[in-house]
Amino acid sequence: MSTILIIEQVLNGLQSGVMLFLMAAGLTLIFGVMGLINLAHGSLYMVGAFAAAAVAGVTGSFVLALVAALAAAALAGAVIEVAVIRRLYDSDHLDQVLATFALILIFSEGTRWVFGSFPLFLDIPDALSGPVTLPGGIQYPLYRLALIGVGLLVAFGLWLLIERTRIGIQIRAGENDREMIAALGVDISKLYTLVFALGAALAGLAGALVGAIQSVQVGMGEPVLILAFVVIVIGGIGSIKGAFIGALLVGLTDTLVGIFLPEVLKLFMDAAPATSAGSSIASMSIYILMSLVLIWRPSGLFGARA
Amino acid sequence: MKKLMLATAAAALAAGGAMADVKVGMITTLSGGGASLGIDTRDGFMLAMEDANRDDVEVVIEDDQRKPDIAVQLADKMIQSEKVDVLTGIVWSNLAMAVVPAATAQGLFYLSTNAAPAQLAGKGCNSNYFSVSYQNDNLHEGAGAYATQAGFKNTFILAPNYPAGIDSLTGFKRFYEGELAGEVYTKLGQTDYAAEIAQIRASGADSVFFFLPGGMGISFLKQYADSGVDLPVVGPAFSFDQGILQAVGEAAVGVKNSSTWSKDLDNEANAAFVAAFQQKYDRLPSIYAAQGYDTANLLLSAIDKADVNDDAAFAAALKEADFASVRGEFSFAANNHPIQNVYVREVIKEGDVFTNKIVGTALEDHANAYVDACKM
């Protein structure tokens, strides 16, 4: 187990963490501001990836593909907010879960109608393909470094938006007391649509960025959605800062435990059962992490409400 | 399609013809993530049925959504209210395990177009159950044999941590004679392989064997190609299928994979099948389509020889395998699983389309490891 391998794995953990953050940020904003559990967030991730793959297939431009992903996901988000979600703000969480679960099915089968059952092709741009050599002789894919960079930039941009702009003030106020800001003359329904579209756009961006190194296929959003829920539970529901820290924790735990636990187990037992048992326990690791955090802080690391 | 077949049957009835003599129930995955496999299975099967153009066979098709509970419900419905004689079409081993033993126990025939878990080949074998595809281990055994032939000495192997993944690595090791640089089980449905690729890089391996079906394989190959690790890669055909290759793109070119079928396999039945499939569906067939096509032709050959209600005679007729397989020479071993060649294919680019060509034979007239365990 060399230092190089460890550093490479930490980078991998960071990269998966910042991409998770893009998903979790939208989810936590929507839950924090509107009190809505949006299971269809993973579908918006898929919409972003499919829009990117379709546009990249026609134009060959990755930048245009990203723009399309952002636009398509934001538009899809705004449309479902106005058409469906708006009716659910006063319902209880079970109704929201049911309705947004229905949206997952509609999006999945709708996407299959439009694009067919076969996975789509989306490649990373030539300028970012291949590995680069980092100091210390670490070979690391340039595209994954770029993902870390983009993720951190978006996190910084979101922080600016929430902490430094008028809209940010309204969003924070909406989290605390939605009746009051409505009474103060803020158009709350427009604000909700905006927040929902923003969250959707972030999910779409993540889908397009990750879709380039994975498989663009129907149902690709749901596994990420589960992780994103774990992230916001760990970070504290409604907290962007919590989502960021939580995403990095989940990304690093998931990657590092998955790699190192089987190696540690091999010190005590035979190789074959060690790898099999190690990977089984590793797939539980983030849920164990979540339980530990919840025992220590029942409302999550940065959660305001209990 | 289902409507069409029912309509044909109704027309036959109206014309004063008898009810279809043999009723076939196809349960396969037509929606959701794994739909492309089921759609190819169905299209291959129905191509053979339509070519035969017979009014004594009726096919009902249902979508199992890749869910074992739905598959069981559909099987019950087909057995009890549709009164089918033969079931077929299931793609996934866990669904097959939920349906097949119950169906054969009720005296139905089950012809597998794909899934063929070890349990049904060994102790759980049944004279009414035939796998027309392979036994699940076969392609992995072929990949192991190829790795040995290619002179690999230190292979890194990985598969998802679920029964078929464990069977895969066991199958590979059964025919691979070199050392293992590493053996890793990934999460089922995992989409990011950066961590495993880093392990491969650090392991000092001279080659990589992987079994990652569906989207998992697409993700792995794209990420592997971008990682700068350029060790030779071997895998079973599942990750190099016609539908999947287009999504992997250049990253797959040159990769060797083991398969019992390829579109360039040189025999008359295969040439006719590939041409007819392309003409009808405007795409290249996959191994699932080929297996569906063979299954239909095997079934038709048995219907010509025996009455489906006479279990012993019909099973004997099936076992003769008296049909022209698109895989060339084809017969059944004692446990009703195929004896066939396992080929080595290489991924190439033909014009704009990524596809496979045969470059060698890994195992000749290969049966499976469970023949002796089957007491029929």
ipTM score for this prediction: 0.82
Q: Shortest Cα distance from B196 to chain A (angstroms)?
A: 8
Tell whether the model's pLDDT for residue B11 goes beyond 50. Answer: no
Owner of token pair 């007819």: B276
A1: pLDDT confidence band, cut at 50, 70 and 90? low
pLDDT for residue A305: 53
pLDDT for residue A262: 83
B16: pLDDT confidence band, cut at 50, 70 and 90? very low
- Strands B256-259 and B338-350, how do they pair? antiparallel
Owner of token pair 């079906």: B213
- Strands B154-160 and B179-186, how do they pair? parallel
* Cα nearest neighbour of B165 on chain A: A276
CA dist A215 and B341 (Å) reads 31
Share of chain A above pLDDT 70, in %: 99
Domain ranges of chain A: 11-217
Which residue did the predictor score with more confidence, B12 or B299?
B299
Q: Is B201 exposed, middle or buried (0-12, 13-18, 19+ CB in 10 A)?
A: buried
Classify residue A120 by its DSSP letter: B
User: Which run of H or E residues covers position B265?
Assistant: none
Chain A residues within an 8 Å CB radius of B219: 213-215
Tell whether the model's pLDDT for residue B6 goes beyond 60. Answer: no
CA dist A77 and A184 (Å) reads 26
- On whether the CB atoms of residues B116 and B94 are closer than 8 A, the answer is no
B36: pLDDT confidence band, cut at 50, 70 and 90? confident
Tell whether the model's pLDDT for residue B26 goes beyond 70. Answer: yes
Top residue of A213, A220, A222, A269 to mutate, by most chain B CBs within 10 Å, is A213
Q: Shortest Cα distance from B251 to chain A (angstroms)?
A: 10
Strand partners, A133: A139
C-alpha triplet B228, B232, B233: angle, nearest 5°: 100
pLDDT for residue B329: 93
pLDDT for residue B14: 43
Tell whether the model's pLDDT for residue B234 goes beyond 90. Answer: yes
Tell whether the model's pLDDT for residue B7 goes beyond 60. Answer: no
The stretch A189-201 carries a mean pLDDT of 92
Domains, in order of start, for chain B: 2-134+266-332 (3.40.50.2300), 138-259+342-372 (3.40.50.2300)
| Alpha-carbon radius of gyration of chain B | 20
- Amino acid in the structure at residue B122: G
- DSSP-assigned states of every residue in A195-258: HHHHHHHHHHHHHHHHHTTS-B-TTTHHHHHHHHHHHHHHH-TT-HHHHHHHHHHHHHHHHHHH
pLDDT in tens, B116-126: 999 999 999 99
Chain B residues within an 8 Å CB radius of A218: 32-33, 35
pLDDT for residue B116: 92
A282: pLDDT confidence band, cut at 50, 70 and 90? confident
Taking each helix axis from N to C end, the angle separating A166-176 and A142-164, rounded to the nearest 10 degrees, works out to 80
- Give the residue from B131, B54, B47 showing the smallest Cα distance to B89: B131
pLDDT for residue B4: 53
Tell whether the model's pLDDT for residue A177 goes beyond 50. Answer: yes
The stretch A99-108 carries a mean pLDDT of 94
pLDDT for residue A246: 96
The length of chain A is 306
Phi, psi of B358 (to 5 degrees): -75, 130
Tell whether the model's pLDDT for residue B127 goes beyond 90. Answer: yes
pLDDT for residue A38: 92
Task: Show the tokens assigned to B102.
Answer: 């119950």
* Interface touch B228/A218, C-beta < 8 Å: no
The stretch B276-291 carries a mean pLDDT of 94
Report long-range pairs for B330-333 (Cβ below 8 Å, ≥24 apart): B330/B294, B332/B130, B333/B367, B333/B368, B333/B371
Tell whether the model's pLDDT for residue B289 goes beyond 90. Answer: yes
pLDDT for residue B17: 39
A149: pLDDT confidence band, cut at 50, 70 and 90? very high
* Interface touch B186/A279, C-beta < 8 Å: yes
CA dist B360 and B311 (Å) reads 39
The stretch A133-146 carries a mean pLDDT of 89
Owner of token pair 């297996």: B291
Q: Which of A4, A9, A275 comes nearest B195 by C-beta? A: A9
- On whether the CB atoms of residues A199 and A77 are closer than 8 A, the answer is yes
Q: Which residues contact B230 (CB under 8 A, 6 or more apart)?
A: none
CA dist A170 and A186 (Å) reads 8
pLDDT for residue B18: 43
Owner of token pair 């299959």: A112
Residues of B near A (CB-CB distance < 8 A)? Answer: 31-33, 35-36, 39, 161, 166, 183-187, 189, 191-192, 194-195, 198-199, 201-202, 214-216, 218-219, 222-223, 226-228, 243-244, 246-250
Mean pLDDT for all residues in chain A = 90
The stretch A217-243 carries a mean pLDDT of 91
3-class DSSP state for residue B259?
strand
pLDDT in tens, A30-43: 988 888 899 999 99
A146-160, B28-42, B99-113, range with the lowest pLDDT: B28-42
In this prediction the pTM is 0.83
Backbone conformation region of residue A135, classed left if phi is above 0, alpha if psi is from -120 to 50, else beta: beta
Q: Which residues contact B63 (CB under 8 A, 6 or more apart)?
A: B28, B29, B30, B31, B38
CA dist B20 and B244 (Å) reads 37
Chain B residues within an 8 Å CB radius of A119: 36, 215, 218, 243-244, 247
